[in-house]
Chain A
């Protein structure tokens, strides 16, 4: 089954404790992105990747890191999480040339206390 998976789905952590949210897709998509969703603010892009080892900042990259060492994986790293990073996070992927048609993962609900 073609899909985007994320882990964990739910995470409660404390301020400053490094964490990684994994994202994997099995559709051989070139493009991958991370978004955060907050009430009233819609979906805001954190980082996106056009291919292996090619990443760029989205609209809200502060406090986040990403890497794209393999085509199928695009982990999101929070080196020192803070309460304002409490949010619902989505990973997405899309085919080359069809970046507007994004396939989203199931989401990760992150709470930072």
Chain B
């Protein structure tokens, strides 16, 4: 099955700095790469996603880059703020399916210090 590795497991930055989280995957058929944010005690929520035919996607302070050849994709958060503190999960759609079979990474605990 699909294997997704996420690094780092914890990340601590100062407010205003950038944060980068990287995921690698094994299934070359995967073609959707969403990122979810989970605040403490809350449910995961989709924050951004990228398709395999796109190399980069931006939404305000967050961006996703994808390298299909190397099978890795990354989440970039610029100008971090304390409210960015959360657990971030990458995911891939196993086998390139569209019906909700997702494999998640292990999560990254991001802490932004004021």
Contact = CB atoms under 8 A, between A and B. Distances in A.
Contacts of A79: none
B98 A97 contact: yes
Given A42-B105, A100-B32, A50 B99 contact: yes
A101 B89 contact: no
Contacts, number: 75
A79 B70 CA distance: 42
Contacts of A75: none
A32 interface: yes
A1 B49 CA distance: 24
Interface in B1-49: 1, 6, 9, 32-34, 43-46, 49
Interface in A95-111: 96-102, 104-107
Contacts of B67: none
B106 A33 contact: no
Interface string B77-102: 00000000000010101000111111
A99 B102 contact: yes
B107 A42 contact: yes
B43 A104 contact: yes
A14 interface: no
Contact of B49 (A32, A59, A101, A106): A101
